[in-house]
């Protein structure tokens, strides 16, 4: 065999080896048993919840005795982490056979009975619940009148305990429970002072059975609204709580809980508006939060030495990220007024200016873009990816020229790659009330909780954020407050495989993958890619082999116990920072930035000034139209006055002949 042929077969063998050791072939982890096939509402909800957690669901449809035996056999599969049985299937199954099959696992496999309605046989419900659930009824309700309430059962309801969620239904199916037989209420529809059970569990010896009524929420559109989670989550809450309890580490989960506070527009001067960095540091230390400054790159050479020193000595509390470039209004707005090529130039200049900022201050910055005013169109996100930004974080994570994806995963996760295959993060304004139930959902799911404010937020006191920080800590005691860059580099999901290795889903182009186990572990990594850009995959700075499977990049990585590896997707581009002009040559931009400083450091010092700033931000168009109208009125008045004054002063012109004839003329 020639050396070329040997090399060819060596490559083939390597690729086959990667494929053979890649993610597990789909194995049933959730056994779903029904008496009818098809997309029933109950099945659709379970499939959605299973997909959200990365669990493979296999359906068994009972049409005869042989199918019943197959269902019992499926329950005994060693890969199973949860069993779901529709309520109208219970009478077709032998309860003792099912419980016996579950006992073969040697540990408890939770069972969920879904789709309980008033048509469900009451006698069968009593049998399967040991008398704890006596039946089901339906109650009509006025839409928007009630709410869902979650009980406090720590190992199941977790951070959702004692919180309320929207009830978007016109009728509610609820269970009749007999407390004497040990039923445990997990979730109820609350109408005034009445609680109607919709989710509960019962212990049968060592076996735990869960029961959930059928819920058919009215149409809930998935929108860019940052608070969209609550209504969508409420319709899936029983299924999501059950599968998280059942699957544990076998379900997708975040490596840790993260949070961040970002102050937009500020730069390193003391004070900036109402931001006193020295005092803010004390509050951050006392209430354990981290402050990122969304820094306008135009300010790259304006930092004060004392503030540079403060940020450099406290990287655990202060950090810097990128806030546009010049921050002149809508510089990353719609392309009809701000062409894509100009936005790309702004991105390149922003990076060059931030590099110069780091050279001058020795303070690193996070390549996370916070767009001024609002998120850009989608093609600008593609440009951020090309120039190796990690993510973008904004109040809306849907580009200005795009629509929200119509799927529940988008509604529930704080990050999406649906646009230009680039991570877009959602954040909350802490300047307005944030529903605590929203934060409870984020904590339960594992979403990073990102907050932002402007300097005027601290007009009421430098301690203005403390209450929000404390609320987050109460919901998630082990929360880690970190910089946006740190959070972006830990923005991945992981789940335990049945062979003891881990599957990992990456979101960003640079990830610090941590092995929290004491032993060396194998990680099977996947990342969605559109392959629109040439790229290199690096591990700890060195090129690393990967496999392309459809729209995914896959690789296998060994990580020693207690250690981490850095995985980088480096996209090749034409950026030459040394060739980018970072000068402030535009007098218009200079005036805009100086007026912005005047607004934040002078106008905002009065209540009237703060009202004007808030009003102008919310109703910019109205104010601009009013200003234009006022300018027209002023010009009209001035023109009229000048015309009238000129008319009065104009001399009477007479012909020479008339002057000779006038007796008053000498």
Q: 3-state secondary structure string, 435-476? A: CHHHHHHHHHHCCCEEEEECHHHHHHCCCCCHHHHHHHHHHC
| 1 has a pLDDT exceeding 80 | no
Give the pair of three-digit tokens for residue 11: 């490559």
Confidence bin at 7 (pLDDT 50/70/90): very low
How does pLDDT run across 112-136, given as a tens digit for each residue? 999 999 999 999 999 999 999 999 9
Identify whether the C-beta of residue 26 lies closer than 8 Å to the C-beta of residue 56. yes
- Beta strands 258-264; 291-295: pairing state: parallel
Alpha-helical segments (H) within 333-465? 340-361, 378-386, 408-412, 436-445
Alpha-carbon distance 444 to 187, whole Å?
15
Q: Please state, rounded to an integer, the average pLDDT across all residues of the chain.
A: 87
Alpha-carbon distance 374 to 376, whole Å?
7
Strand partners, 173: 138
Q: Give 519 or 644, the one with higher predicted confidence.
A: 519
Q: Give 260 or 408, the one with higher predicted confidence.
A: 260
pLDDT of residue 140: 85
Average pLDDT over residues 591-605: 70
Q: What is the DSSP string of 582-613?
A: -----HHHHHHHHHHHHHHHTGGGSHHHHHHH
How does pLDDT run across 77-105, given as a tens digit for each residue? 888 999 999 999 999 999 999 999 888 87
Q: Which of 48-62, 115-129, 613-627 has the lowest mean pLDDT?
A: 613-627
How does pLDDT run across 278-306, given as a tens digit for each residue? 999 999 999 999 999 999 999 999 999 99
pLDDT of residue 474: 97
| 610 has a pLDDT exceeding 60 | no
Q: Which of 197-206, 575-584, 641-650 has the lowest mean pLDDT?
A: 641-650
Alpha-carbon distance 380 to 344, whole Å?
7
Secondary structure (3-state) at 58: strand
Strand partners, 514: 564
Give the pair of three-digit tokens for residue 384: 């951020």
Which distant-in-sequence residues (6+ apart) come within 8 Å of 246 by Cβ? 81, 82, 109, 110, 112
Give the pair of three-digit tokens for residue 185: 């209420």
Alpha-carbon distance 154 to 309, whole Å?
44
pLDDT of residue 419: 97
Which distant-in-sequence residues (6+ apart) come within 8 Å of 83 by Cβ? 30, 31, 33, 75, 98, 102, 109, 110, 111, 112
> Which secondary-structure segment (H or E) carries 244?
helix 229-247
Identify whether the C-beta of residue 21 lies closer than 8 Å to the C-beta of residue 216. no
Strand partners, 187: 150, 199
| 10 has a pLDDT exceeding 80 | no
How does pLDDT run across 488-500, given as a tens digit for each residue? 999 999 999 989 9
Average pLDDT over residues 579-593: 87
| 613 has a pLDDT exceeding 60 | no
Share of the chain above pLDDT 70, in %: 86
Strand partners, 203: 208
Confidence bin at 535 (pLDDT 50/70/90): very high
| 161 has a pLDDT exceeding 70 | yes
Secondary structure (3-state) at 497: coil
Alpha-carbon distance 414 to 412, whole Å?
7
Identify whether the C-beta of residue 181 lies closer than 8 Å to the C-beta of residue 135. no
Q: Is the dihedral of CA 419, 424, 429, 434 positive or negative?
A: positive
Q: Which of 20-24, 264-268, 454-458 has the lowest mean pLDDT?
A: 20-24
Output the pTM of the full model: 0.86
pLDDT of residue 152: 95
Is residue 250 exposed (0-12), middle (13-18) or buried (19+ Cβ within 10 Å)? buried
Average pLDDT over residues 561-568: 97
Give the pair of three-digit tokens for residue 119: 């048509």
Identify whether the C-beta of residue 189 lies closer than 8 Å to the C-beta of residue 172. yes
> Which secondary-structure segment (H or E) carries 322?
strand 318-322
- Beta strands 171-177; 133-140: pairing state: antiparallel
Give the pair of three-digit tokens for residue 526: 């996947």
pLDDT of residue 649: 57
| 8 has a pLDDT exceeding 50 | no
CA triple 333-337-340, angle to 5 deg: 65
Nearest CA among 253, 238, 255 for reference residue 82 = 238
| 618 has a pLDDT exceeding 60 | no
Confidence bin at 150 (pLDDT 50/70/90): very high
Identify whether the C-beta of residue 543 lies closer than 8 Å to the C-beta of residue 536. yes
pLDDT of residue 286: 98
Q: Which of 62-76, 424-438, 541-555 has the lowest mean pLDDT?
A: 62-76
| 451 has a pLDDT exceeding 50 | yes
CA triple 521-522-526, angle to 5 deg: 135
Identify whether the C-beta of residue 275 lies closer than 8 Å to the C-beta of residue 266. yes
Which distant-in-sequence residues (6+ apart) come within 8 Å of 605 by Cβ? none
């Amino acid at each position: 065999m020639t050396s070329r042929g040997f090399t060819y077969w060596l490559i083939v063998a390597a690729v086959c080896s990667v494929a053979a050791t890649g993610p597990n072939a789909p194995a049933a982890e959730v056994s779903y048993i029904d008496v009818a096939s098809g997309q029933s509402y109950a099945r659709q909800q379970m499939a959605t919840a299973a997909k959200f957690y990365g669990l493979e669901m296999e359906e068994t449809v009972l049409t005869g005795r042989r199918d019943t035996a197959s269902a019992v056999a499926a329950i005994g599969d060693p890969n199973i982490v949860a069993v779901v049985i529709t309520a109208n299937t219970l009478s077709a199954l032998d309860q003792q056979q099912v419980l016996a099959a579950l006992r073969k696992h040697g540990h408890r496999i939770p069972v969920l009975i879904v789709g309980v309605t008033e048509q469900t046989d009451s006698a069968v419900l009593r049998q399967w619940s040991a008398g704890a659930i006596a039946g089901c009824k339906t109650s009509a309700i006025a839409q928007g009148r009630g709410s869902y309430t979650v009980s406090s059962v720590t190992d199941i309801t977790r951070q959702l305990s004692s919180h309320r969620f929207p009830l978007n239904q016109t009728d509610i199916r609820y269970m009749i429970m007999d407390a004497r037989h040990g039923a445990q209420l997990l979730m109820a529809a609350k109408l005034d002072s009445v609680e109607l059970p919709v989710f509960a569990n019962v212990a049968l010896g060592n076996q735990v059975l869960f029961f959930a009524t059928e819920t058919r929420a009215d149409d809930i559109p998935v929108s860019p609204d940052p608070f969209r989670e609550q209504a969508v989550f409420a319709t899936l809450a029983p299924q999501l709580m059950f599968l998280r309890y059942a699957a544990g580490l076998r379900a997708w989960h975040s490596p840790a809980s993260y949070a961040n506070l970002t102050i937009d527009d500020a730069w390193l001067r003391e004070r900036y508006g109402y931001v006193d960095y020295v005092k803010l540091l004390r509050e951050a230390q006392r209430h354990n939060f981290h402050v990122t400054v969304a820094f306008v790159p135009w300010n790259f050479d304006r930092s004060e030495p004392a503030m540079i020193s403060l940020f450099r000595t406290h990287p655990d509390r202060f950090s810097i990220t990128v806030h546009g470039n010049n921050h002149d209004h809508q510089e990353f707005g719609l392309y009809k007024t701000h062409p894509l090529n100009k936005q790309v130039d702004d991105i390149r200049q922003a990076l060059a200016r931030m590099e110069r900022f780091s050279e001058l201050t020795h303070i690193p910055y996070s390549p996370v873009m916070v767009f001024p005013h609002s998120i850009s169109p989608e093609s600008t996100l593609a440009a951020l990816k090309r120039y190796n930004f990690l993510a973008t974080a904004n109040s809306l994570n849907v580009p200005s020229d795009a629509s929200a994806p119509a799927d529940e995963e988008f509604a529930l996760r704080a990050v999406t790659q649906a646009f230009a295959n680039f991570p877009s993060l959602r954040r909350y304004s802490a300047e307005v009330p944030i529903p605590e139930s929203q934060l409870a959902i984020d904590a339960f799911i594992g979403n990073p909780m990102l907050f932002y404010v402007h300097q005027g937020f601290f007009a009421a006191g430098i301690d203005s954020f403390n209450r929000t920080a404390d609320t987050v800590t109460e919901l998630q005691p082990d929360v880690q407050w970190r910089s946006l860059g740190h959070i972006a580099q830990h923005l991945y999901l992981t789940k335990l495989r049945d062979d003891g290795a881990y599957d990992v889903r990456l979101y960003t182009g640079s990830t610090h993958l941590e092995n929290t186990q004491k032993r060396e572990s194998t990680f099977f990594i996947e990342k969605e890619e559109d392959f629109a850009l040439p790229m290199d995959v690096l591990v700890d700075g060195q090129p690393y082999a990967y496999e392309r499977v459809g729209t995914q990049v896959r690789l296998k990585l060994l990580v020693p116990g207690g250690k981490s590896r850095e995985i980088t997707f480096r996209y090749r581009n034409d950026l030459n920072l040394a060739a980018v002009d970072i000068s402030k040559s535009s007098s218009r931009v200079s005036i805009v930035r100086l007026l912005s400083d005047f607004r934040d450091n002078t106008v905002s010092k009065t209540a009237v000034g703060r009202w004007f700033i808030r009003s102008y931000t919310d109703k910019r168009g109205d104010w601009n139209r009013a200003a234009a109208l006022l300018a027209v009125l002023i010009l009209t008045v001035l023109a009229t006055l000048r015309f009238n004054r000129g008319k009065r002063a104009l001399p009477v012109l007479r012909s020479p002949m008339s002057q000779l004839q006038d007796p008053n003329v000498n």
